Amino acid sequence: MSQVLVVRLPIRTRYAETDMMQYIHHSVYPVYFEAARTELLRSIGVSYRALEEQGILLPVMELGVKFFHPAYYDDELEIEARYQPRRRALIRLDYVVWREQQRLAEGFTTHLFVDKQARRAMKPPQFFWDAVQKALEGQHATV
């Protein structure tokens, strides 16, 4: 089975995000990924803000980005976030930065669920798997 959850978040690049090379600085892409990640979670009914309020963190364990073409100031981008659920502690998301049909960059992040109080890794909470399952079924239903 290769069911995948996907969202696309439109982002207009900001002047402050440019550098003297005229490019959107490479350190901004993880910030875009994060914004898309928030939307992907929201799309399956999980508020990352509420998650932290319940004492659960989802820090980044690993980050990778490949840059194919620069983005510029005032570009209208779309940040695609994809999550192919696997029953593992380590969560991996993949990203593509689009400007219209052009693939500007690709990346991924991995995450562990962390107990905020104990500052220790924990298993993904059951309500997370339930939300994922429900979202995948919802996708199915609409097909």
Under the rule (CB under 8 A), what is the footprint of a copy of itself? Answer: 12, 14-16, 18-23, 25-28, 30-31, 34-35, 38, 47-49, 52, 57, 59-67, 70, 72-74
Give the shortest CB-59-to-a copy of itself separation in angstroms: 6
3-class secondary structure for 13-77?
CCHHHECCCCCECHHHHHHHHHHHHHHHHHHCCCCHHHHHHCCEECCEEEEEEEECCCCCCCCEE
Give the shortest CB-11-to-a copy of itself separation in angstroms: 10
- Rank residues 61 and 136 by Cβ distance to a copy of itself and give the closer one: 61
- Rank residues 5 and 11 by Cβ distance to a copy of itself and give the closer one: 11
